Amino acid sequence: MSTPLVSIIIPVYNGANFMREAIDSALAQTYTNREVIVVNDGSADGGETERIALSYGDRIRYFSKENGGVSSALNLGIRNMRGEYFSWLSHDDVYFPDKIARSVEAMSSANDAKTLILCDSVQIDKDSQLLMSKKRIPEEKTLNWREAVSYITKNGGADGCAFLIPKQAIEENGFFDQKLRFCQDTYMWWKIFLSGYSLILCDFPGVKSRIHDKQLTQTGFQIYHSDSLYIGKRLLRQFAEASTEEINILYEYAKDQAIHNNPETAKKAIALAKKKRLATPLQQVYIKALCIYGKVRPTIRSIFYRLFKHTRIRQNRK
Enter the pTM of the model: 0.90
CA-to-CA distance for 35 and 100, rounded, in angstroms?
A: 11
Q: Which domains does the chain have, with CATH numbers?
A: 6-217 (3.90.550.10), 220-308 (no CATH)
N- to C-terminal Cα separation, the chain? 25
Residues 6 or more apart whose CB falls under 8 angstroms from that of 72 comprise 41, 65, 176, 178
The closest of 3, 12, 9, 57 to 30, measured between CA atoms, is 3
122 by Cβ neighbours in 10 Å (0-12 / 13-18 / 19+) ranks as buried
Would you give per-residue pLDDT tens digits along the chain (318 residues)?
A: 689 999 999 999 999 999 999 999 999 999 999 999 999 999 999 999 999 999 999 999 999 999 999 999 999 999 999 999 999 999 999 999 999 999 999 999 998 899 999 999 999 988 888 886 667 898 899 999 999 999 999 998 999 999 999 999 999 999 999 999 889 999 999 999 999 999 999 999 999 999 876 654 444 568 889 999 999 999 999 999 999 999 999 999 999 999 999 999 999 999 999 999 999 999 999 999 999 999 998 787 677 666 665 544 444 444
Sign of CA dihedral 85, 90, 91, 95: negative
Do residues 135 and 120 touch, judged by C-beta distance below 8 A?
yes
Do residues 256 and 157 touch, judged by C-beta distance below 8 A?
no
